[in-house]
Amino acid sequence: MKFLRRFLIRLANLTTRRRADQRLQEEIAEHLALQIEENLSAGMAPAEARRLAALKLGAAQAIREHHHAEQSLPFVENLLYDLRYAVRMLLRSPGFSFIAIATMALGIGATTAIYSVIDATLLHPLPFPNPGELVRIQDDLPGVGARGVGISIPEWRDLESSGIFQSAAITGRGANVNLTGTAQPLRLSFKQVTPNYFAVLGVDAQLGREFDPRDTTPGYNLEVVLSDGLWKREFGADPHVLGKTVRLDNDEYHVVGVMPRGFRDQGSTSDEQNVELWLGAGFAGMPFPPPLRESRLRSRAVIARLKPGLSIAAAQGHLDALVDSLKKQYPSEYPVQTAWTIRLIPLTETVVGGVRQSLILLFGAVGLVLLISCVNVANLLLARTSVRSREIAVRQALGAQRTRLIRQLLTESLLLFLLGGIAGFGVLFCARSFLLRLVPESLPHLNAISISWGVLGFALAVSVTAGTVFGLAPACLMSRLDLTGTLRQEGRGAGGSRQRSRARQILVISELALSLVLMVAAGLLLRSFWDLFAVQPGFNPDRVMAIETWLPGPNDPTTDPYQTATQEAVLLREILRRSRTLPGVEEAAIGDETSLPLGHSDPTRLPLIREGLETMDNQAPLIESPIVSPEYFHLLGMRLERGRIFSDQDIETSPQVAVINQAAARTYWPNEDPVGKRVRLHLDTRGLANIAKPAWTTIVGVIADARTESLADTGIPLIYRSVYQRTSKEVTIFLRGQLDPSAISEQVRGQVQAVDATLPVFHAETLEDVLSSSLSVRRFSMEMVVFFAATALLLAGLGIYGTISYVVNEQRREIAIRLALGAQRGTILKMVLRRGLGLAAVGAGLGVAGALIVSHLMAGLLFGVSPTDLPTFAGVSGLLTAVALAASYIPALRAMRLDPITTLHSD
Amino acid sequence: MKEKPDVLQGTLALMVLKTLDILGPQHGYGIARRIEQISGDLLDVNQGTLYPLLLKLEHEGSIASEWGASENNRRARFYRLTENGRKQLRAETRDWEQTAAIIARFFNVKAEDLV
């Protein structure tokens, strides 16, 4: 405490020091004068009076110095001196300072920008309390190659009572529901969740309450919790919304609570994260299937909160024991060959899993840019040695300590780096709204990406670390001068700086090598992206628009106006007929959500049970099954390979038919003709309630493979069914022709609502847009890496330019003498260029080695191009060499045009 | 220069405060003279060390200073005791007396008293 006070007083003294010293001096003079006066009046001779007075006072200068030493902080004072000096040095060479600060601003700004994205996604993916306790529970049947088969209600109850979890909740994956009664019927994302869902996440409602975790209603409890956004948008933030009734898919629910602002639901898809309604359900009564052990809830996820202090590994151990005992208890439900297991996955993993690699690549790339900018600035600092070596030599000759010199030089470089960091952060902060727009929508982030205090701290920490590391080396080299040599040379290019020029060459070579690595990465990504963009998708997205609508699915199926496929077919045929009359429409088709190419993130998969290979439902392979109208294949330009496509005569009462793609034929009927084979597809839960056993479906045709699931992936098995035979609540209307994208939504809405006014119409987009947004994360990382590579190339060019200029400047006497002795100017030019080329060659060689390692690490992000792609490597090396040559050409020209007479005279 | 021991520094401050307490506002030279007078030649202090001490005391708020005219009409800085300084003086006097009393008892004690 006392120490602290003394420190503060001393700190304050830094500012008042001069005044205090002056006063001390005045007082002492005053004292002396009075003493002398008194001595004189006592009769002393003037000289004696002065001598005695001074003697009595003591050593005045020593007193002053002692007082000063006691009242100040030498370290801080020196630092202030150094800082003042450093600022003066920066101002004296504004060009150098500007370039150095701008380079660092670029490096640190870019790194900080990427860090802010990583901070919100990888580092803090879950905006819930104690996120480490949250896990996702996944049921697998590795024995039959099935993963994520879903959980049954009795299993869920076993988990709840196992003592491993605080609580476990079942949740839907995010689906759609029609909200009617508002100005326009709305389609909203909702999730069915068990009532303890919010308790698992640990988030409270801002208004009203959540579901009661002890609620044991078997089906829906007819309570709904709203998101803050929906509450503000559709209910005008009405505080009396609680207890109001909303109609969701024709069922009436009571609003019981509103979630807080900024609450985003967990999940890996934007559909899940944009959920705006939560419905409480027990998943054990109508409209859900009866709670039997073997009826697994497909397309449902289980999330749970572990008991505090329990690690995931330990919990997994307990869980394995539980699974083993359950298998013994119910041998018929868990046949040995299926090898039923339950896995715990950290919830963070399921949220960010897909983009981790892209983000790490970006961070690596931006780290290289930062490294290159640091090297560049270190290089600039070294270049200044030749200018300042005399100053430093003189100071050293006058007795300055080496540590003191290093400290001062380090202060200068730290100041440069810090100013650069602050400038970079400043630019980032000002441009944040613009930059955030570049981040693709599909990047999963529950936390808002923001430029926060943590990010500022990161920027400062990076600046200080970089400044220390990259300032120390030049400072040490600078302070180790050959005194006599430097002083005697009288500013003639320092010959004793061989060590420094080697250091500079190493720096330039590493800069070139690093930028080559980045450029190779960028080149490979660019080529993959290009290939991906140019890939033949197998369908024709040209002039096609997709518009969605949603048919309600009330809890009591008997109140559903579109309960059967026949009832729905009437509506769909009418919508198709009306759509074809719209201006510009040439073709129209209908499909479900899964049929929208590249536009669905988490399709439901159904077990495929082949005739003759009958297995238990939960042991069959899972297959995606789009439901489409007969016109779908022609509209999207998908070629029929064998058999036939659907016809208008395939209706609910006629035999069930299906069309598969070539991948499905290859996978499930290898070396066989699949046409005429029969399969059974187990239906989703809603259907299960009324249909005991689905009928056989006959395969009537094989369609050519198309990349409708992922552009990077051909050959995902698909089985198409007819929309006139199967109900589908999600309806996508496909239109081809000369369409006006701005008007089409209104036109289709008019036609659809003329048939049924309660249907929402939303989400009109062109297939081209769907296609390009499916590449958005890839495009984002590709563009960023290319930008970083360009920056790196620019910096490396500047670096090599600076070094060669410096070499020329250092050797100008030698060059002048050669010229005077009759050397050809062309030879001089070649000599300098060879120097630059040599540096580039070594840099490129090292860079290629580094790039080979990096390109293999990022193989997972590449498409259609090998990590050792020769054209990319050759092209990039060529580009780098060209830039190095161009950058050396200017100083080489300068060397060639040197006038020997003036040069030799001036030295 | 020989470092003054802390005790002596402390006592010098106490002397300055006491002098100002008794005599009212004084300039630096006056304080030096009074201390010399009262302590006689027993205390061999370089008078110059007084001034850093005065600065320090003023900084700590025990004394305040202002310009005034000395007896022979020279401009001089006059120091006076502040309320804070008076409190400090009282506290330090008490401490000092206590310390002195304890030390005195140690000096007066005889072997047989402790049995």
Give A125-171 pLDDT, tens digit per residue: 788 888 889 998 988 887 766 777 788 888 888 888 888 888 889 88
Residue contact B46–A34, C-beta within 8 A? no
Instruction: Residue B52: list chain A partners with CB under 8 A.
Output: 24, 63, 66-67, 70
Q: Residue B47's CB: how many other CB atoms inside 10 A? A: 22
Residue (of A766, A724, A731) closest to A630 by Cα position = A724
Residue contact B70–A34, C-beta within 8 A? yes
Residue A507: per-residue pLDDT: 85
Helix (H, G, I), strand (E, B) or coil at A279: strand
A70 inside 8 A of chain B by CB: yes
Decide if pLDDT at B115 tops 70.
no
Residue contact A31–B49, C-beta within 8 A? no
Interface test with A, best of B9, B26, B29, B56 (most A CBs within 10 A): B29
Q: How far is A58 from chain B (nearest CA, A)?
A: 5
Instruction: Residue B47: list chain A partners with CB under 8 A.
Output: 31, 35, 56-58
What is the arithmetic mean of pLDDT over A248-260?
87
Residue B6 — very low, low, confident or very high, per pLDDT cuts 50/70/90?
A: very low
Q: Rounded to whole angstroms, how far apart are CA atoms A765 and A759?
A: 18
E runs forming strands in A650-780: 657-661, 678-681, 697-703, 719-722, 730-737, 761-766
Residue A490: per-residue pLDDT: 52
Cα–Cα separations (whole angstroms), residue A414 to A367, A462, A503: 19, 11, 20
Phi-psi region of A543 (alpha: psi -120 to 50; beta: other; left: phi over 0): left
Residue A684: per-residue pLDDT: 43
Mean per-residue pLDDT of chain A: 83
Phi-psi region of A174 (alpha: psi -120 to 50; beta: other; left: phi over 0): left
Lowest mean pLDDT among A57-61, A532-536, A803-807: A57-61
Q: Which two tokens stand for residue A688?
A: 């299960």
Instruction: Residue B70: list chain A partners with CB under 8 A.
Output: 34
Give A101-126 pLDDT, tens digit per residue: 998 998 999 899 889 888 888 887 78
A55 inside 8 A of chain B by CB: no
Interface test with B, best of A5, A25, A34 (most B CBs within 10 A): A34
Instruction: Residue B27: list chain A partners with CB under 8 A.
Output: 30
Q: Which two tokens stand for residue A827?
A: 């030879």
What is the arithmetic mean of pLDDT over A12-37?
77
What is the arithmetic mean of pLDDT over A445-456?
76
CB A766 within 8 A of CB A607: no
Residue A379: per-residue pLDDT: 84
Give A831-866 pLDDT, tens digit per residue: 888 888 888 899 999 999 999 998 888 888 888 888
Residue A446: per-residue pLDDT: 58
* Most confident among A283-292, A340-349, A769-778 (mean pLDDT): A340-349
What is the arithmetic mean of pLDDT over A66-91?
79
Residue A444: per-residue pLDDT: 65
What is the arithmetic mean of pLDDT over A718-729?
88
Residue A876 — very low, low, confident or very high, per pLDDT cuts 50/70/90?
A: very high
Residue A342: in which H helix or E strand, if any? strand A341-346
What is the arithmetic mean of pLDDT over A323-346?
85
What is the arithmetic mean of pLDDT over A375-393?
79
CB A761 within 8 A of CB A753: yes
Burial of A420 (C-beta count, 10 Å sphere; 0-12/13-18/19+): buried
Angle (CA) A186-A271-A112 rounded to 5° is 125
Q: Rounded to whole angstroms, how far apart are CA atoms A803 and A112?
A: 29
B94 lies in some domain: yes
Q: Residues of B at the A interface (Cβ-Cβ below 8 Å)?
A: 1, 27-29, 32, 46-49, 51-52, 54-56, 59, 70, 72, 74, 76-77
Number of domains in chain B: 1
Torsion (CA) A582, A586, A590, A593 in degrees, nearest 10: -90
Residue of B nearest to A70 (CA): B52
Residue A425: per-residue pLDDT: 92
Burial of A341 (C-beta count, 10 Å sphere; 0-12/13-18/19+): middle
Q: Which two tokens stand for residue B75?
A: 């401009």
Instruction: Residue B51: list chain A partners with CB under 8 A.
Output: 24, 27-28, 31, 63
Give A669-692 pLDDT, tens digit per residue: 988 899 999 988 865 433 444 445
B114 lies in some domain: no
Give phi and psi for A823, each to the nearest 5.
Answer: -65, 145
> Greater confidence, A19 or A408?
A408
CB A646 within 8 A of CB A722: yes
Q: Residue A731's CB: how many other CB atoms inside 10 A? A: 26
What is the arithmetic mean of pLDDT over A776-783?
82
Angle (CA) A18-A19-A21 rounded to 5° is 65
Residue A9: per-residue pLDDT: 67
Instruction: Residue A57: list chain B partners with CB under 8 A.
Output: 46-48
Torsion (CA) A450, A455, A459, A461 in degrees, nearest 10: 180
In this complex, the residue of B1, B51, B56 whose CB is nearest that of residue A27 is B51
In total, chain B counts a number of residues equal to: 115
Q: What is the ipTM of this complex?
A: 0.78
DSSP-derived secondary structure letter, A540? -
Residue contact A58–B28, C-beta within 8 A? no
Decide if pLDDT at B67 tops 90.
no
Residue A269: per-residue pLDDT: 66
Give phi and psi for A724, each to the nearest 5.
Answer: -85, -10
B83 lies in some domain: yes
Residue (of A794, A659, A770) closest to A707 by Cα position = A770
Q: Rounded to whole angstroms, how far apart are CA atoms A663 and A438?
A: 36
Output the domain CATH number for residue B15: 1.10.10.10
Decide if pLDDT at A421 tops 90.
yes
Instruction: Residue B56: list chain A partners with CB under 8 A.
Output: 71
Token pair 């074809």 is found at A580
Q: Rounded to whole angstroms, how far apart are CA atoms A895 and A824?
A: 12
A6 inside 8 A of chain B by CB: no
Helix (H, G, I), strand (E, B) or coil at A680: strand
% of chain A with per-residue pLDDT over 90: 16
Interface test with B, best of A18, A30, A36, A66 (most B CBs within 10 A): A30
Q: Which residues contact B99 (CB under 8 A, 6 or more apart)?
A: none
Q: Rounded to whole angstroms, how far apart are CA atoms A544 and A739?
A: 8
Angle (CA) A670-A676-A679 rounded to 5° is 75
In total, chain A counts a number of residues equal to: 907
Residue A665 — very low, low, confident or very high, per pLDDT cuts 50/70/90?
A: very high
B115 lies in some domain: no
Return the bridge partners of A170, or none. A302
Q: Measure the N-to-C terminal CA separation of chain B; round to a whole number of Å.
A: 47
Residue A1 — very low, low, confident or very high, per pLDDT cuts 50/70/90?
A: low
Instruction: Residue A53: list chain B partners with CB under 8 A.
Output: none
Token pair 């995902």 is found at A716
Q: Rounded to whole angstroms, how far apart are CA atoms A293 and A156?
A: 10
Return the bridge partners of A623, or none. A606
Note down the domain range covering B76.
Answer: 6-107
What is the arithmetic mean of pLDDT over A185-189?
81
Residue contact B49–A63, C-beta within 8 A? yes
Return the bridge partners of A624, or none. A605, A718
Decide if pLDDT at A46 tops 70.
yes
Helix (H, G, I), strand (E, B) or coil at A274: coil
CB A14 within 8 A of CB A1: no
B76 lies in some domain: yes
Decide if pLDDT at B13 tops 90.
no
Decide if pLDDT at A386 tops 70.
no
Query: Strand A697-703 vs strand A657-661: parallel, antiparallel, or unpaired?
Result: parallel
Q: How many helices (H) and strands (E) does chain B have?
A: 4, 3
Residue contact A27–B28, C-beta within 8 A? yes
Q: Which two tokens stand for residue A502?
A: 């080697």
Residue (of A733, A723, A762) closest to A745 by Cα position = A762
Residue A508 — very low, low, confident or very high, per pLDDT cuts 50/70/90?
A: confident
Residue (of A291, A266, A294) closest to A278 by Cα position = A266
Residue A447: per-residue pLDDT: 62
Residue A686: per-residue pLDDT: 37
Interface test with A, best of B4, B41, B46 (most A CBs within 10 A): B46
Write the DSSP assignment of A448-504 as a string of letters. PP---HHHHHHHHHHHHHHHHHHHHHHHHHHHS--HHHHHHHTTS--TT-HHHHHHH
Residue A465: per-residue pLDDT: 92
Q: Rounded to whole angstroms, how far apart are CA atoms A152 and A297?
A: 6
Residue A98: in which H helix or E strand, if any? helix A94-118
Residue A897 — very low, low, confident or very high, per pLDDT cuts 50/70/90?
A: confident
Q: Which two tokens stand for residue A491?
A: 């500013």
What is the arithmetic mean of pLDDT over A752-775?
85
Q: What amino acid is encoded at A78 in this protein?
A: N
**Structure pTM?**
0.72
CB A289 within 8 A of CB A144: no
B82 lies in some domain: yes
User: Secondary structure of A560-619 in the HEC alphabet?
Assistant: CCCCCHHHHHHHHHHHHHHHHCCCCEEEEEEECHHHCCCCCCCCCEEEEEECCCCCCHHH
Q: How far is B43 from chain A (nearest CA, A)?
A: 13
> Greater confidence, A377 or A534?
A377
Residue A689: per-residue pLDDT: 41
Helix (H, G, I), strand (E, B) or coil at B66: strand
Query: What is the separation of C-alpha A395 from the centre of its chain, rounded to a whole number of angstroms?
Result: 50
Cα radius of gyration (chain B): 17
Q: Rounded to whole angstroms, how far apart are CA atoms A692 and B107?
A: 110
% of chain A with per-residue pLDDT over 70: 90
What is the arithmetic mean of pLDDT over A582-604?
83
In this complex, the residue of A26, A34, A57 whose CB is nearest that of residue B46 is A57
Give B14-64 pLDDT, tens digit per residue: 888 888 888 888 888 888 888 877 776 666 566 777 888 888 888 888 888
User: Between A870-896 and A825-857, two packed helices, what is the crossing angle to 10 degrees?
Assistant: 150
Q: Rounded to whole angstroms, how far apart are CA atoms A362 and A359?
A: 5
What is the arithmetic mean of pLDDT over A860-884?
88
Query: Strand A585-591 vs strand A697-703: parallel, antiparallel, or unpaired?
Result: unpaired
What is the arithmetic mean of pLDDT over A91-95?
84
